[in-house]
Structure 1
C-alpha cells in the first residue's frame, strides 16, 4: 500500500524559511552553512516539502539548484506568511537611543553620493549604537527586500504590485554636464544640437535604462555615444578640458557646478526618487522609525 503524503500541517515556518534560503543561494550546502545546520538537515527538510507538495521544487542545472515553477509559486505565498509572522513578532515600541540593530539600505551610486551621508548622520545622531550597511540595488532591489537582504530600497524604484509600499522623496530630472569651454556650453540645446554632441553614456547594466534615454527613443531618436562608462564616478575628470558631454541627474551634476557647466537637456527624463519597502516590514516599529527618519533626512 503506497505511503500517504505528509500532512501539510507538519510543515512549519522553519521549513518554509529553509526553502527561501535554498532558493536564494541555489545550493543545499550554502544554505546549510548560512543556517548553521548540517546539509543532511536541509536535504531532509526539502525532501519533506517535495513529498508534501508533490513537486521536485529544485532541479540541478549548471551546478545550482534551480527552482521549478511550482516552487516559485509556493515561495511567493510562503514569503507572505513569513512576513505576517514577522509583523506579529515585532515589538509595539522602538527606542532608537538604545537600539543596537543593523539596518541595510539598498541603493546605487546616486543615492550613495547624495543621500546616504545625510541618512547616516541622522541615524547616528539619534541611534548611535545602530550600524548601517549599504548594498547595491542594481535593478533587482525589490528582490533584496523580499529576500530580507535589505530593510529599505532608495532610488527610482516605485513598486505598484502587492507586497511592496513606496513613498516619494522628491522629483529629479536629467541635465547636460560639460566643460565651460565647450562650444555649446552657453547655447540652448535643441534635439539636433544635442544629438550631435560627443556623449559619455552611463550604462548601468542589468537591463537598466535611464529615463532620458526612454524619452529620447520615444521621440524617435537614437543616441550614439562616443564613450560608454559603467558609473557616474569620475565623470568630472573625464569631461574637464574635453568636448565630451554627459547627461546625468541634475542634483548629481550640480556637485561639479564650480568647475563644469550644467545645462538643460532637451530630454529631461523626469523621474521620482522613492523610498520602497516590503510589506513584511510595514508594521514594524523600528522600520517605521527608519522610514520616517530617511524621509526627513532626504527632504530636509
Structure 2
C-alpha cells in the first residue's frame, strides 16, 4: 500500500498535569488541571503528519486494554492508518505522567509498556506491505524494532528521518542508517558530549554527528531556531516567534511536519521552515493532538 510517510514509534497515554511550579522532593503540589490524552512520540508524529495532509501508516504496539483502544481510535480519527499497530496480550499500553509548569516547560516519567515488546520481525512484516518515500522514527520502542526498521528502510530505499529521542534511548549504531537526524539540545549533548547553548556550538555538534553517518543533521534550539547541516552546507534557521503556553509535543509536530512536507515536495530547507512554523503553532496552544496544526493554519 502506498503512503507519504511510514512512522515507527511509541503509542502512549499521557496523564498531563498543569502546575504552577514543580513540587520539591517529598512535597505535594495541586495541579490547575489534569487531563488524560493520547501521546507517545510515534503517535504524535503520525498524527502531526496526517493533519498536515499526509497519508500516514503507523507501525507500533499497544496493550490489549482500554487505553490501547482509546489511542487507536484517536489515531484513526485523524486519518492515520493503524492496521500495522499490533496489540500485546502480555504488556499494557505505554503510559507517561507529564508535568507542565507556568513557563510551559515539561518533565515526564512513565513506562514504555507494550512499546518495548515490539519485535523486529513484526516491524519487517509491516514495512514489507508499506510503500512510502519517507520513514520517520524515534528510539522509544525496543532496540530490536528500531534496528529492524532502520535496516528494512535502508533496503527499501526509504529516506530515513530519525528523531533520536528520548536521549536515554540513544545508541550510536542507529546513526549509521539514518539519512537525517533531528536532536534537540539535550539529545545533541547525549550524542556528542557537546553542551549546546548557542548556534556556534550547535554547528560544531552538527558536524560531529554528520561524521557518525547521517548526511543531514538538524540541531533544534527551541526558541533560538535551529542549525541545519545539509549537503555539506550549514544553514541557520530562525524560529517563528509566538507566545508559548505548552511545549509538549512541539518536537513531534516538527518531525511530522518535516517528514510529510519533504515527502510531498522534495525541498529539504522548505520542509525545515514548514516544520518550524508547525511547531510554533503547536506551542501557542494547550493540548495534544487537537492542538496540532492543519494545512489551513500554515497559510
- Measured against the shorter chain, the TM-score band is under 0.3
TM-score, length-scaled by structure 2: 0.21
Q: Which has the higher contact order (CA 8 A, sep 6+)?
A: 1
